[in-house]
Amino acid sequence: MSKTWWRGAAIYQVYLRSFADGNGDGVGDLAGLRSRLPYLKDLGADAIWLNPWYPSPMADGGYDVADYRGIEPVFGTLAEAETLIAEAHELDLKIIIDVVPNHSSTASDWFQQALADPAARDRFWFRDEPGDWQSIFGGPAWTQVPDGQWYLHLFAPEQPDFNWDNPEVHREFEDVLRFWFDRGVDGVRIDSAALLHKSDTAWEDLDPVHDVYRHWRTIADSYEDRVLIGELWLPDQERFARYLRPDELHTAFNFDFLSCPWDPEELRRVIDLTLTTHATVGAPPTWVLSNHDVTRPVTRYGRADTSFAHGGALHGTPSDPELGYRRARAAALLAMALPGGLYVYQGEELGLPEVEDLPDELRQDPMYARSGGTNPGRDGCRVPLPWSGDEPPFGFGGPSPWLPQPESWRKLTAEAQLADLDSMLNLYRTGLRLRRECFGDGTLAWLPYGDRVLAFTRDSGVTCVANLGPDPVPLPDGAVLLASGRLEDRLLPPDTTAWLRTP
């Protein structure tokens, strides 16, 4: 792969706990992932991003990191992680890991030292009086320790925020980056990347964070082809672009696209804004339809309101499964054709719906508990994958996965879908193969096609047409390479996308 592989890569997101279970304890692990690397290769992934794999009490699915240089024993060992990296590289798959610099775990050595000794508290945010900030997961952002002081946690109380005014915190993360780059990791996804610094009045997007990333860039650049990817939920495009300046992060997730309703004008606006914003700094855009924090597209696109608001999962809202499925297929081909990088969240390629009827007592996401149950949380998009067979656990491994899978997923297993040429899985497989030849990094030229249709041609000469209107529209001339739904008489039905090689 080229030095700038990340500019157009298709990156598959593995939520390890729910991907594949190699040792039968009901929780996905490195052994399970290793056994499924050929599946990801055949799918057409260029890289794999793994959610945190470190030792963790799992108060927030591993985003409460107790040791940044180890592997959670439930997932495997450090030696096994190194084997995974080597095996992935043999298949020409890059490995991206998650680094969580905003907060730690109350189980970390540093926090335990801070609890034991008030003189060791400067690595975190301890104060004599709590402020009035609310946690992003609901409830107060300050928790009191037995001696009376309070510490800040923008997320769960088990996730104390680091103090980035302390140089030791900087040194620690620089060392953590080197630790993993030395082991062959090809990139890091930076969790909550805009939150690091705080003032007494603000906790997001403070200017000193850019010095951190400038420094991290010099570290990444001292290795070959390593990439820094930001998780930035920033509505202000100018502020967002600052993180992608040539001496900072390489790319960031496009949450505007992910949150956008299935509406042609809105989508076109977001696509144009994305392209313009990224062009100002020369960074490639990315296209993201889902991840482990958001409602699955098949469910979201079947609702009357097809947008997604962070923290705003809406269980119980009626969703038309057929409509959602058709739109999710059309959205997949649209996202694959756009210029830049692509993210695919595990299960998206199987067209899995959000599981909305999990028993409340099994819900593990702190968002659910901290909202007093008003927010169902994110467990519904984290249910273990169905691989094969006719009944749960559908080849996931072990007799009982950590979250139960719906019986109806028998039709959605990877095995069943491989055998069905029209399945979502085969759409993704063909789409990602063609994407490598026809799309990825580059530019697009819009074609005039009315306001309910998104149509553009890419540098390769291949045209993408997505019909978001209520009526079929005629296709342009050219050979159809792939379509998300059945075409009749060269008409593109509603909620369908087609790719054509135009003459």
Q: Which residues bind ligand GLC (CB under 6 A)?
A: 60, 63, 100, 155, 191-192, 231, 292-293
- Which among 351, 343, 426, 336 has a CA at the least distance from the CA of 43? 426
For 417, left (φ over 0), alpha (ψ -120 to 50), or beta?
alpha
Shortest spacing between CB 181 and ligand GLC, in angstroms? 22
List phi, psi (to 5°) of 491: -110, 135
User: What is the nearest approach in angstroms of ligand GLC to the Cβ of residue 345?
Assistant: 11
Beta carbon nearer to ligand GLC, 13 or 423: 13
Nearest-10 crossing angle of helices 321-337, 424-438: 20
> Closest by alpha carbon to 239, among 210, 198, 262?
210
Compute the distance between CA of residue 71 and CA of residue 275 in angstroms, rounded to an integer.
38
In the complex, least distance from residue 110 CB atom to ligand GLC, rounded to whole angstroms? 17
Q: Least distance (Å) from ligand GLC to the CB of residue 160? A: 12
Query: Is residue 42 classed as helix, strand or coil in its secondary structure?
Result: helix
Position of minimal CB gap to ligand GLC: 63
Distance CA 206, CA 204 (A): 6
231 vs 195: CA distance, rounded Å: 10
Minimum distance of ligand GLC from residue 19's CB (angstroms): 15
Query: Min. distance of Cβ 501 from ligand GLC in angstroms?
Result: 38
Alpha carbon distance 233, 256 (integer Å) = 8
Please report, for residues 253, 309, 357, 373, the alpha-carbon distance to residue 316 in angstroms, rounded to integers and kept in the order given. Answer: 28, 16, 9, 13
Measured from the Cβ of residue 421, the count of other Cβ atoms closer than 10 Å reads 9
Q: How many CB atoms lie within 10 A of CB 316?
A: 8
Which one, 97 or 271, has the nearer CB to ligand GLC? 97
Closer of 155 and 301 to ligand GLC (Cβ): 155
Of 100 and 475, CB closest to ligand GLC: 100
* Residue 64 vs 495, nearer CB to ligand GLC: 64
For ligand GLC, give the closer residue by CB, 114 or 288.
Answer: 288
- Between 7 and 292, CB nearer to ligand GLC: 292
Structure tokens at 141: 């952002």
Q: How far is the CB of 3 from ligand GLC (least distance, A)?
A: 28
